[in-house]
Structure 1
Amino acid sequence: MENEQKEMLQTEEEVTYEQPQEEVNESLTEDQSITDDEQDQLTAANEQIAELQQKLQELENRYLRLHADFDNFRRRTRLEFEAAEKYRAQNLVTDLLPVLDNFERALKIQTEDETAKSILQGMEMVYRSLIDALKKEGVEVIESIGKPFDPHLHQAVMQAEDSGYEPNTVVEEFQKGYKLKDRVIRPAMVKVSQ
């Protein structure tokens, strides 16, 4: 019963709100000046909406560029940190290379004195422990003799005729070269066959 009453009330409300079509047309012609003002306001609002949409698009593009720049910065920083971590021992290794050279020169001394021989044995032990510590950090000796000349690994200081080697092959090594992981710390000074 309540449902029927609600439906009747709704139909009555609909009837009361309806205006005859002729009255609507008359009111439209009478209110034509209001419609022109509304049209002007609508045009102004549409222009403002278009302007705001353009600003929004510009801000979105700017945000995307900033986001991409930040991602690039973060990636570049991470790569720099990884490289710094990978080659952190480079300065120490560079400073120790002359020490290694001096140890090698000292170990080449030939002596008959027992005291000097025991000192040389002690120096050789220190030298080996130093080499082991450097190997743990990733330092490697560049192999040169009998290898093809590579300007990235070798520094040619002499050329010589040698029938025992193919042309452009390392014949003799004057100073050892070293690499830290995949980076050349010091190229080997070598003599190359012609």
Structure 2
Amino acid sequence: MNHGKQETKKDDLEKKIEECEKLKNEYLAGWQRARADFVNYKKEEDLSIKATASFMITGIIREILSILDSFEIIEGKIPKNLKDDINVKGILQIKNQILNLLKKERVEVIAVKKGDDFNPSLHEAIEEVVDEDMESGKIIEEVRKGYVRENRIIVPARVKITK
């Protein structure tokens, strides 16, 4: 009879060990899922933060580009006899600092030249002009430079195109 009790105790202990193993595996799986969920959350949060920062930087860059446009307009109106004036050179140095800042932020000018095809994803047509020498939909003139950053259009190039 003693032998029977020992077998029962042994069976009970084996069942308890099995239950503990099962419980341990459930807890482990739960912890692993929670960790994976946290890692995924962290990745999503990082992407969200980067997207928000990029959006904010793009807005600031748009404002800077507006200022740069003003510098370029002024530069185009400087008489030749004043090009070497120290004050004019100082103003143009500020323009160059802005250009260097934009370069550092990976802002690039959209390349546009006369005769290029009009691309509505890169260009904004502000005027259509009749030109017998060019086929329709070609760029005649760039009126304002366009800019991209990280393959996203910040400001489209404003152009005149042929009818």
| Structure-1-length-normalised TM-score | 0.57
Quote the residue 1:154 is aligned against: 123
Read off the aligned partner of 1:132 and give its amino acid letter. N
CA distance, structure 1, for counterparts of residue 46 and residue 117 of structure 2: 37
How far residue 76 of structure 1 moved from its aligned partner, in angstroms, is: 1.4
d(CA) in 2 for partners of 1:62, 1:108: 68
Whether 2:161 is the aligned partner of 1:192: answer yes
Q: Deviations over 1:68-110 (max 9, x none)?
A: 6544422211222344555663232121112111101111114
After superposition, residues 38-187 of structure 1 pair within 5 angstroms as 69-84=37-52, 89-111=57-79, 114=81, 117-118=84-85, 119-145=87-113, 146-187=115-156
Q: CA separation in 1, counterparts of 2:60 and 2:98?
A: 12
> 1:61 Cα shift?
9.8
Which whole-Å CA distance do the structure 1 matches of 2:35 and 2:56 have between them? 31
In the alignment, the residues of structure 2 paired with residue 70 and residue 157 of structure 1 have an alpha-carbon distance, to the nearest angstrom, of: 50
TM-score (normalised: structure 2): 0.66
Supply the distance in 2 between the matched residues of 1:69 and 1:171 (Cα, whole angstroms): 55
Give the fraction of aligned pairs with identical amino acids, expressed as a percent: 30
The AA in structure 2 aligned to 1:153 is: L
User: How many residue pairs align between the two structures?
Assistant: 161
Q: Is the 8 A contact 1:103 1:127 kept in 2?
A: yes
Provide structure 2 residue ranges, at least 5 long, that are not aligned to the other structure: 1-26
Give ranges in structure 1 of 5+ residues lacking alignment.
1-58
Aligned to 1:7: none
Higher relative contact order (CA 8 A, sep 6+): 2
Q: Which residue identity does 1:121 align to in structure 2?
A: K
